[in-house]
Every structure is written in C-alpha cells, then in structure tokens.
Structure 1
Amino acid sequence: MRKNKKINIIYKDDQIVVCEKPKGIPVSSDKTGDMDLLHQLKNQLFFEENTDGEPQLYLVHRLDRPVGGVMVFARTKKAAASLTEQIKEHTFEKDYQAVLTGWLPDDEGTFRDYLLKDPKNNVSKIVKEGTPGAKEAILDYEVIDMMEDSKMKYTYCLIHLETGRHHQIRVQTSSRGFGIWGDTKYNPIYQKTKKKYKEIGLFAARIAFEHPTTGERMVFKADPSGEAFDLLEMTE
C-alpha cells in the first residue's frame, strides 16, 4: 500500500474510525478514478497500525464530493449493522453548517419535500408526493447570521437532517431560491460559471450516535474551512 496525504482522524477504536473528510474528494471510488477517502483511510491505518493485510472499513453514510466534514466508518460488520440501524431509525444525528446565497426570510424553519433520484445523471429533484421511487426529505434550519458583500447577499445557517437523501440539502435549498454557495450542480447563480469549484458552502460539522458495542452516546465535531466560510470573516 502507498502513502497518501494524511487524513485527520478524530477518534478510533476497534469498532469505529471517525475522521474529517477533505472537501473535493469522493468518499468511495467513482468513474473519475481519483483517490477516494475510503482507500486513503485504509492506507493510513495500514501504516499507522502496522497491520497484516488491508484494514477492514465499512461505509455506512456518505458526503458529496465537494463537501467536507465529520464521518464515521465501521471496522466490523457488527458495528456497520448497528450504525446503519441507527441511521434508519433517525437516532444517528447529522448537523451541517451552510452558506446560502440570498437571505432566508425566517430565522428558523423546516423544509419537507419528496425527492426522486436520477442515477443516470447523478441528480435529484423535488416531485409530488406519491411519485414512484420518491422519498420524503426533511431538514430543519436555524439562521446564524446574514451577510452582504459587493456581489450578493448570504445566509449562514445550521442545518439538521431528519432524513439523509441524495443531495438533499443542495436540492431543498436551491428549490426555494437559496442555493448553496459555489454549487454548480443545483444553484442557478453558479450553473453558468466557468470557474471550477472543488468545494461548496456546505460542511458536516457534527455527528452523534451510540457506540456500536458500549452504547455510549458519542458526539464528534469539526470546524468548517474554505472559501465559502471565509466570507464569514470578510463580512463581519
């Protein structure tokens, strides 16, 4: 196995590994062939722990390629089953920080929609309830700050996912006219830009779950960084 740029490992034991995913890389292998987080993490554990053979890691949740933040990987099938069940039962908490374009009209609220995934084009869209294949998508948001520079207005907010659908936050915010900063896939403001954004204004800042074997409630956090979140300092 070859060495790669070190991943920030926040916590690890014999059941789980919690790390900070860098923005701009895929969680697992995709058609680009670029090095992905799963393989980087396996490589790193191989060298750090001096294991015999490839370390076992199981993917239980995902982050979009341009999104950075906290993730947990299972190290055993039992741990993977436990975490997957917690996600299914909505006891696995996922909180994000986001920079949106425009000013949200309310300080807090809930977005509730039905999303349909288009695997061929790797996009999701909002559809009517009852549409075949559609899944309910729910998120809660809380506005932290509103900003403005010479180009546009921005909303800095916290987002709590009640469900974890494909591109959920990106679709639900953009459909209401407040897309994610830098999101060339869903935010109309950036769809025609020639600039290549490797990151967007969305960061997985906190996860919380019960440890698969001890049952202890565990909380892990990370602070966002990058061009979008630099706006918070520029507009103070």
Structure 2
Amino acid sequence: MAFNPNNIIYEDNHILAYNKQVGDIVQGDKTGDQPLSEIIKVFIKERDAKPGNVFLGVTHRIDRPTTGVVIFAKTSKALERMNALFRDGGVAKTYWAIVKSRPEKNEDLLVNYLVRNEKQNKSYAYDEPKKDSKEAKLRYKVVAQSDNYSLLEVALMTGRHHQIRTQLSKIGSPIKGDLKYGFSRSNPDGGICLHARKVEFVHPVKKERLVIEAPVPDDALWKYFEKILWKEG
C-alpha cells in the first residue's frame, strides 16, 4: 500500500500515530521493503523543510497483514518513555477481529502459553507451560454479528508474537483471511481481518490521557460492523 498522509491520525511535537494499511511494514525486516518508519521520516523532512536528519522511533509493531494504529516517537525522550509505557503495561490496546466461527462464549479471558517457531514464523498455543513458552493473556467479547461473521473486540493484555491470531485459532475462531492460523481462504488483498482499533495511554510528555482510534479499512464488511456499533453507541 502507498503511504497516505491522510492516514496520520494524531501528531504533535512528540509522537505520531498512523493508521497502518495491509502490506505496510512498521520497521525494516528481511524482505528489504521500505518500512513506514523510513517513509514517514522522508515525508516529515519534506513537509517541514527540515535541513537535518529527522528522528522517528518505533515504539511497537503490528503484523504486516493487519491494520490499525501504530505509534511512532518524534524525539528520543518520547521514544524512551513510550517504550517504558508499552513494556510496563501503560498502554491499553483494543483490537477488532472478524471471525466466521463464533466462539462458544460471548466473552472470555484466554490464558495460553505460546511457543514461537522462528522457521515457520508461527506461534503455537498450549494450555500449560512448555519449554521456551511465554504466557499470553487477552480478553475478548462478541460485539456485533452479520449473517456469516462475528466481530470480536479484543483487549490485549500481553504482547506476544501473533498472539491474537494464535489464541483465537486455538478456540476454533481463526481470523477471516488468516490461512496461517486455519482460516479456509485468503482475503483478496492478502491481509487478515485484524484491526488495531484503539490505544489509550498517558502522553509521555504532556501527561494528559490520550485515546487514539483508527478508522476501519475501506471494506464493505468492516464498514457494516462499524455502522452497527455506531448505531448501538
């Protein structure tokens, strides 16, 4: 996906929030594709006519096939403080996930132990601790329903590799489009229906409570669910 300045959903002197699209990578990886961190640096340099180098720090990442809010730090002080917030649980992260197989329970706390397989770039969830496993916690609830799909709101309590994808797959509700974790077919754009909807935290410099919400992808099913929740809200 091409960079779009309109996807900047919050910016001040300290941080910038971007609504990541399917296919965007947050930080450079082995693919060699240009990451958002570098693209946004170039954009800021040109927009603000900055003579020197632009600082832009990556505070967290979301998977390439997912969408939603990503926070970058515009100063080293903000980066250090945002890293501490993410590390210490100071950022509340809310995701939306579309699944075909509705979970048995309308809401639940899922606690699993995830083992990451580097070669497969995949994680596996277990009920009991295993060698090299890490505890993974999330809370979900079913918040909307269509004829064929359910929308789950997920509060992420730990930040493990492919955590939401792995844990929802384990309860029999793989995310729409997620072939890696058991969904039957891919989405046309190659993405999955997992969206980092909202982050909430105390601003690292201003010390004010900040809530940043990312609009859903420009897709009929996403728009349908968003409209339902707007009406109910």
- Per mean C-alpha deviation after superposition, the further-off stretch among 55-64 and 82-91 is 82-91
Give the letter aligned to residue 182 of structure 1: G
Judge conservation of contact 1:115–1:136 (CA < 8 Å) in 2. yes
Correspondence list, 1:71-150, <5 A: 71-127=70-126, 129-148=128-147
Matched residue SS, 1:163: coil
| Identity in percent | 33
- Per mean C-alpha deviation after superposition, the further-off stretch among 123-132 and 86-95 is 123-132
Matched residue SS, 1:139: strand
Report what 1:167 is aligned to: 162
Correspondence list, 1:1-236, <5 A: 5-7=3-5, 8-127=7-126, 129-148=128-147, 153-190=148-185, 197-227=189-219, 228-229=221-222, 232=225
How much does 1:62 deviate? 0.6
Q: Distance in 1 between matches of 2:209 and 2:136?
A: 25
How much does 1:128 deviate? 5.2
Cα pair distance change 1:213/1:232, threshold 3 Å: closer
Give the letter aligned to residue 229 of structure 1: W
Cα pair distance change 1:213/1:162, threshold 3 Å: same
Cα pair distance change 1:189/1:29, threshold 3 Å: same
Give the letter aligned to residue 203 of structure 1: H
How much does 1:31 deviate? 2.5
Give the letter aligned to residue 165 of structure 2: R
TM-score by length of structure 1 reads 0.87
RMSD: 2.2
Q: Distance in 2 between matches of 1:231 and 1:213?
A: 37
Cα pair distance change 1:218/1:110, threshold 3 Å: same
Give the letter aligned to residue 195 of structure 2: F
- Per mean C-alpha deviation after superposition, the further-off stretch among 138-147 and 166-175 is 138-147
Q: Distance in 2 between matches of 1:62 and 1:129?
A: 27
Matched residue SS, 1:115: strand
Matched residue SS, 1:138: strand
Give the letter aligned to residue 170 of structure 1: R
Q: Distance in 2 between matches of 1:62 and 1:42?
A: 17
TM-score by length of structure 2 reads 0.88
